[in-house]
Amino acid sequence: DAGITQSPRHKVTETGTPVTLRCHQTENHRYMYWYRQDPGHGLRLIHYSYGVKDTDKGEVSDGYSVSRSKTEDFLLTLESATSSQTSVYFCAISESREAFFGQGTRLTVV
Amino acid sequence: GEDVEQSLFLSVREGDSSVINCTYTDSSSTYLYWYKQEPGAGLQLLTYIFSNMDMKQDQRLTVLLNKKDKHLSLRIADTQTGDSAIYFCAESNNAGNMLTFGGGTRLMVKP
């Protein structure tokens, strides 16, 4: 899996609680991304990073924030989780043409 | 914005060829990709094609691109049961490689 680790792999949380998902890479790739996967929608980009402390919004960024303080780590935070954020979250990394994906985090908000 | 469309489902018999189709709307797409997702797993990059090419072959996989019609297809020769998965088409038009995905095509291979 190209040296990408997502944690946790599964999480159940209550509405209104904060949640942080972590993506760790060992490839020293410049670009990192967070996508969410929902039935019928494929994967949609939440936020991405093009370097340490350099991040930008994707297509579905509302309700999410990110941070990248080190090249190898990209954190996705849901400040106050809602049921609509129940999804499978994928981290991806890229240096040029190819993007490689982590195994995903299944998040359930109850 | 960009839009990528795929049919939802395809069923083939083992040994037959599979053809998965994809259409996209962004005429500035630079690279087009095919990813495979098996149950409970992440996405595996199968192949990609640069927009100035019209065909790319890699073992059992053949990608055809019709840039005029904005149509991309993935042909899998001699389809095996291990090819059963969801296949995603995606496009990118920038150096940051942000991908816009289709909704995925579930391929079922019958023995």
- The reply to whether A1 touches chain B by the CB within 8 Å rule is yes
Query: How would you class B27 by CB atoms within 10 Å of its CB: exposed for 0-12, middle for 13-18, buried for 19 or more?
Result: exposed
Give the whole-angstrom CA distance, residue A34 versus residue A76.
7
DSSP A1: -
| Nearest C-alpha in A relative to B7 | A40
Q: How confident is the model at residue B1 (pLDDT cuts 50, 70, 90)?
A: low
- Taking CB atoms and an 8 Å cutoff, what residues of chain A touch B88? 42-43
User: What is the structure's pLDDT at A42?
Assistant: 87
Give the whole-angstrom CA distance, residue A101 versus residue A83.
25
For chain B, what is the largest distance between any 2 Cα atoms, rounded to a whole number of angstroms?
A: 42
User: How do residues A23-49 score in pLDDT, each as one tens digit?
Assistant: 999 999 999 999 999 987 889 999 999
The token pair at A36 is 């969410």
Give the whole-angstrom CA distance, residue B59 versus residue B67.
23
Determine the distance in angstroms separating the CA of A96 from the nearest CA of chain B, rounded to an integer: 7
User: What is the structure's pLDDT at A97?
Assistant: 83
Cβ neighbors of A95 (< 8 A, separation 6 or more) are: A27, A29, A30, A31
User: How do residues B61-92 score in pLDDT, each as one tens digit?
Assistant: 999 999 999 999 999 999 999 999 999 999 99
Peptide bond into A8 cis (omega under 30): yes
- Taking CB atoms and an 8 Å cutoff, what residues of chain A touch B31? 97
Q: Taking CB atoms and an 8 Å limit, are A90 and B42 in contact across chains?
A: yes
The token pair at B68 is 């005029």
For chain A, positions 3-42, list CB contacts with chain B under 8 A.
31, 33, 35, 40-42
Query: How would you class A4 by CB atoms within 10 Å of its CB: exposed for 0-12, middle for 13-18, buried for 19 or more?
Result: buried
Q: Which residues of chain A have pLDDT under 70?
A: 1-2
